[in-house]
Amino acid sequence: MRPPHLLSPAPQKPGQPLSFTTAPLTPAARAALKGHAGHVLWFTGLSGAGKSTLANALDQALHAQGAHTVLLDGDQIRHGLCRDLGFSDADRAENIRRVAEVAGLMADAGLLVLVAFISPFRRDREGARALIGAQRFTEVYVDTPLAVCEQRDVKGLYKKARAGQLPLMTGIGSPYEPPDRADIVLSGAAPPEHTLSLLQRESSLLLQRLRLAATE
């Protein structure tokens, strides 16, 4: 039996036979112990949109409600797991694939996984949804206009991009493809307290469903 988050096995390399090991503890057993099923909340949006700020605030709010959470942030992962990758389209796709694999394994363990990545391409986000499982994946689009993100420019990246120092900056030299049908859409330009209140309401409903699933 394959792990729940894998729809199909990776192609095998010659001389390297692979097989999946069936774990005695199932995701259902782990969910029962934690009191809720595993799930992935995937935050997407431009750099400076507010993804990490909202994900961190939600992480704290869910923790206060007794949820077992973990936060995967784009900058954090780029300094570790994906430090060998650049910003070409192929490297961006591999970056998202790796994170989706990790998030899926964490969801298998019964964790509520908050992923905050620009993840600019629809095909990569849909690939993550398919890999993790549509029923365990919630896409959260932080919809913030480019002009607002540039005005914030906390990291100074847009200034460098406009100066030609970051030719592949998303939104400037490389496209961002907004979701067609995000599960949750948040306005990153709205007052923070309003946006966070909406996000907490939606996530509380999700947590209720995940707790119910753990008892089934």
**Catalytic residue positions, numbered:** 119
Q: How far apart, in Å, are the Cα atoms of 184 and each of 69, 157, 167, 205? A: 19, 27, 31, 12
